[in-house]
């Protein structure tokens, strides 16, 4: 109980714990990335054998995510608990197997580090809340999917489908977006890539992506809502195109060698989770020419969209006031302009209905302490 209290009270304790936990999960993700495709392949083989009526394969040794213990692929040396500490063991062993000195892939500590750092960031960002638990699950799933797709070109249903349901369930309580937006997001995410796939296939006779990609975007839509789908698709295509061209030029990657799309979708989904709202807001502001960049633009009428954006923004009012007031005291031009804008916004706010608690996006940890 004292430990739980400490997690609630101190952000430093929470973040350190999240990093450590994230490292351990990263270690487990390595196992999932390595074994899940093999487990699925065995299942498919067994099912094919059963259907074709051929003799069932000899009962293989049990192989799942827990047993057997991890072993060196070179010499079969069983990895001891002491050699299985995330990152630390890799450094201590100098990146080599303790028995045969064969090099261990740098991928293992990299996956652990990504998972640890991201978990720490999520804990800092959301504080102890349902949103934190959800964001952690989402991030871990994205890491696993990205690396599995890189290795094998699969995006296993065993991850994408439960991920989509989990996103819908989390949003029953409007954790990341409202349920309506989540349901539409799941359907639209699937259909968006499904249509691209068919247009591409009818036009060129080739398959540009797989059904796993549709399910992954459906899951992202279920977690983040349909409003994040354009951004996710745009980001993933952009990164995919850049890396694809880079590979073609640098590594003389053939034009017809397939490049998995899942990793880009996963990265784009994470960017959309963390910064999507800010990016969408900037974009809307740009479109409406409402970004105050200099003196002349500051007094522009503040229209409906500004109020809308204010409602969408995750900032608490008290935080906003504190900033503008502090800025007004400093007396610079920008600050005075900001304070002026703040006064207008405050007047507007008093006229408009305050959003109910359940309509507001989750606050960040430090804002919750302010409130
Ligand atoms: Zn070995």
306, two tokens: 């500004």
What's the whole-number average pLDDT of the chain?
A: 82
CA of 78 to the centre of ligand 1 (A): 9
DSSP assignment of 147-178:
HHHHHHS---HHHHHHHHHHHHHHGGGTSSS-
What is residue 148's predicted lDDT score, i.e. its pLDDT?
A: 96
What is the CA(71)–ligand 1 centre distance, in A?
8
In the reported structure, the alpha carbon of residue 153 is separated from the centroid of ligand 1 by a whole-number distance in angstroms of 28
How close is the Cα of 103 to the center of ligand 1, in Å? 8
Owner of token pair 């692929």: 73
Average pLDDT over residues 239-250: 82
306 or 274, which is more confident?
274
Question: How far apart are the C-alpha atoms of 10 and 75, rounded to whole Å?
Answer: 46
For the stretch 334-352, pLDDT in tens is 555 556 666 666 666 555 5
CA of 72 to the centre of ligand 1 (A): 5
**151 alpha carbon to ligand 1 midpoint, in Å?**
22
pLDDT for residue 317: 42
Q: Are 131 and 153 in contact (CB under 8 A)?
A: no
User: Mean pLDDT across the stretch 245-265?
Assistant: 78
pLDDT at 242: 85
Range from 112-116, 237-241, 293-297 carrying the lowest mean pLDDT: 293-297
Residue 114 Cα to ligand 1 midpoint, Å, equals 25
Nearest to 31 by CA among 70, 1, 63: 70
> Is the confidence at residue 325, as pLDDT, over 80?
no
Q: Which residue has the tokens 């000195």?
A: 101
**Structural contact between residues 111 and 87, judged by C-beta atoms closer than 8 angstroms:** no
Check pLDDT > 60 for residue 324.
Answer: no
Contact status, residue 28 vs residue 144, Cβ threshold 8 Å: no
pLDDT at 175: 95
CA of residue 187 to ligand 1 center, whole Å: 47
Task: Check whether 117 has a pLDDT greater than 50.
Answer: yes
Give 297-320 pLDDT, tens digit per residue: 444 444 444 444 444 444 444 444
Contacts (Cβ under 8 Å, ≥6 apart) of 62: 68
Region for residue 172 given its phi and psi (left: phi exceeds 0; alpha: psi -120 to 50; beta: otherwise): alpha
Cα 104 to ligand 1 centre (Å): 9
CA 334 / ligand 1 centre spacing (Å) = 63
Tens digit of each residue's pLDDT (9 = 90 or more) over 181-236: 999 999 999 999 999 899 988 998 887 788 899 999 999 999 999 999 999 999 99
Q: Which residue has the tokens 């070109």?
A: 153
Tokens read off for 42? 């065995």
Q: Which residue has the higher pLDDT, 30 or 53?
A: 30
Distance 108 CA to ligand 1 centre (A): 15
Residue 81 alpha carbon to ligand 1 centre in Å:
15
Tell me how far apart the alpha carbons of residues 48 and 96 are, in angstroms, rounded to a whole number.
39
Instruction: Please report the pLDDT score of residue 254 as a whole number.
Output: 63
Residues 103 and 315: their CA atoms lie apart, in Å, by 48
- Centroid of ligand 1 to alpha carbon of 23 (angstroms): 23
Predicted confidence at residue 49, as pLDDT, reads 86
pLDDT at 299: 44
Other residues' Cβ atoms within 10 Å of the Cβ of residue 241: 12
């Amino acid at each position: 109980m004292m430990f739980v209290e400490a997690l609630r009270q101190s952000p430093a304790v929470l973040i350190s714990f999240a990093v450590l936990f994230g490292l351990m999960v990263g270690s487990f993700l390595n196992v999932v990335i390595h074994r899940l495709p093999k487990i699925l392949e065995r299942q498919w083989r067994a099912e094919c054998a059963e259907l074709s009526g051929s003799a069932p394969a000899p009962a293989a040794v049990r192989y799942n995510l827990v047993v057997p213990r991890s072993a060196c692929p070179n010499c079969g040396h069983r990895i001891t608990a002491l050699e299985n500490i995330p990152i630390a063991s890799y450094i201590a062993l100098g990146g080599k197997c303790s028995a045969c000195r064969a090099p261990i892939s740098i991928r293992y500590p990299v996956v652990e580090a990504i998972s640890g750092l991201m978990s720490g960031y999520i804990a800092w960002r959301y504080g102890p809340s349902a949103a934190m638990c959800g964001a952690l699950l989402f991030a871990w799933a994205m890491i696993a999917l990205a690396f599995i797709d890189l290795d094998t070109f699969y995006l296993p249903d065993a991850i994408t489908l439960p991920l989509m349901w989990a996103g819908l369930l989390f949003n029953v309580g409007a954790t990341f977006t409202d349920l309506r937006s989540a349901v539409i997001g799941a359907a639209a995410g699937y259909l968006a890539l499904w249509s691209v796939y068919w247009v591409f296939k009818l036009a060129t006779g080739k398959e540009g992506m797989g059904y796993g990609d549709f399910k992954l975007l459906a899951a992202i839509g279920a977690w983040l809502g349909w409003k994040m789908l354009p951004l996710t698709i745009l980001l993933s295509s952009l990164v995919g195109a850049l890396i694809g061209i880079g590979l073609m030029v640098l590594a003389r990657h053939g034009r017809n060698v397939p490049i998995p799309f899942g990793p880009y979708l996963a990265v784009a989904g994470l960017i959309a989770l963390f910064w999507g709202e800010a990016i969408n807001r900037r974009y809307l502001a740009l479109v409406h020419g409402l970004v105050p960049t200099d003196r002349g633009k500051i007094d522009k009428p503040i229209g409906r969209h500004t109020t809308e954006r204010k409602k969408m923004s995750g900032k608490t009012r008290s935080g906003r006031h504190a900033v503008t007031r502090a800025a007004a005291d400093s007396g610079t031009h920008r600050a005075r302009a900001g304070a002026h804008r703040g006064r207008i916004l405050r007047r507007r706010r008093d006229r408009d209905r305050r959003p109910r608690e359940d309509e507001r996006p989750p606050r960040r940890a430090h804002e919750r302490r302010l409130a």
